[in-house]
Homo-oligomer: A and B are copies of this chain.
Amino acid sequence: MEIKNKVIVQAAKPAEARLALLKGKDILSAAQFSKDEIDVVMETAAYYEKKVKDGEVLKDMEGKVMASLFFEPSTRTRLSFETAMNRLGGSVITVAESAKVQTSSTAKGETLYDSIKVVDLYADVIVVRSPQKGAADEAALAADNPVLNSGDGAGEHPTQAMLDIYTILKERGDLSGLTVTLLGDLKHGRTVHSLIRLLSHFGCRIILVAPDQLKMPAEIVADVEKLGVKVEQTDNLQQAAAESDVLYVTRIQKERFEDLAEYEKVKDDFIVDDKIVKAAKSGIVIMHPLPRVNEITVDVDSYEGAAYFRQAGNGVPVRMALLALVKGCVR
């Protein structure tokens, strides 16, 4: 794909053999992808994004049904997946449950395995979000149809990581040689766990900025370094921003601290405001998986490198690509 001025101007459909790379597969973890698989997702996303922008009515998934099972609330991810399926001409069946309101079969004590066994006989593809780590893997065991993990507790969020990569490619044209900083709660954030694994394929330098209690798990850093990627860790946001082409911000939740005094001491050190942006490397791209609360101040919104809303929008073409690829439906 050719990318210019943040717009997909030319986006060719990948060749048939490459389109088949993900056919029939589950999307469970960012660790499962080869570089070529990631590239096919990016190219297919660009191909669909252009078609939607051109107002084409797609029928790639016509007659197909996607089960959208959100056992934990996540409006953004759910609506993004459902929009993607609709834009492909397919239909959606939805379970959107509040964490506070356990309803229906789950309330009657049914196992996730049994629930998925049944939904697998209704739908052609299954999207699962759960507060339980490993839930998507369990769902994939139960289902013959492809399962897409859209967040499993403190586990992974691979489709978010895919759209993050797509966003950097669109914003910067390339990833190779860039310096990417991940900021915030790197210990519990499934988004950054998935993202750092995908980044490891692109030859970029990675800086991790987190308070001491919320550092990236050592085994994930080790995995990534094994692939030859340079990972630096610091708690100095300003200095990291000065060297970064991309700054990926995540929230630090008060509840994560055992010692609240510790939280009060560090919380202001990880907020991205106008001052940080002004001191940052010129052209820096600011990203965030959203929702944001106060970790990026609203004065940053008007900065042209503030990419977090565009990033959320990229969820639609990327999820269109993933859905159509696992079903072998890219026309």
Contact = CB atoms under 8 A, between A and B. Distances in A.
Contacts of A121: 309-310, 312-313, 316
Contacts of A309: 117-118, 121
A98 B101 contact: yes
A118 B290 contact: yes
A286 to B, nearest CB: 14
A251 to B, nearest CB: 9
Contact of A290 (B62, B63, B94, B110): B110
A74 interface: yes
A21 interface: no
Contact of A110 (B80, B92, B93, B293): B293
A107 to B, nearest CB: 7
A87 B123 CA distance: 10
Contact of A292 (B83, B94, B104, B110): B110
A122 B313 contact: yes
A103 interface: yes
Given A114-B290, A291-B114, A83 B63 contact: no
A57 B65 contact: no
A12 interface: no
Closest 6 CB pairs of A and B: A121-B313, A110-B291, A73-B104, A57-B63, A86-B91, A73-B103
Contact of A65 (B76, B83, B313): B83
B65 A122 contact: no
Contacts of A9: none
Interface in A275-331: 290-293, 309-310, 312-313, 315-316
Contact of A108 (B55, B58, B291): B291
Q: How many A residues touch the partner, as a band?
A: 35 or more
A86 B82 contact: no
Most chain B CB within 10 A, of A55, A101, A315, is at: A101
Given A73-B103, A118-B313, 4 more contacts: A65-B86, A67-B79, A75-B104, A122-B313
A322 to B, nearest CB: 16
Contacts of A56: 63
Nearest to A80: B122
Contacts of A74: 104
A227 interface: no
A222 interface: no
A266 interface: no
A74 B105 CA distance: 7
Contacts of A91: 86-87
A290 B313 CA distance: 37
Interface string A29-62: 0000000000000000000000000011110001
A265 interface: no
A95 interface: yes
B291 A122 contact: no
Contacts of A57: 62-63
A185 to B, nearest CB: 14
Contacts of A316: 121-122
Contacts of A293: 108-110
29 contacts: A56-B63, A57-B63, A63-B87, A65-B86, A73-B103, A75-B104, A75-B105, A75-B106, A76-B105, A79-B119, A86-B91, A86-B92, A86-B93, A94-B94, A100-B101, A105-B290, A108-B291, A109-B291, A110-B291, A110-B293, A114-B290, A114-B291, A114-B292, A115-B291, A118-B313, A121-B310, A121-B313, A122-B313, A122-B315
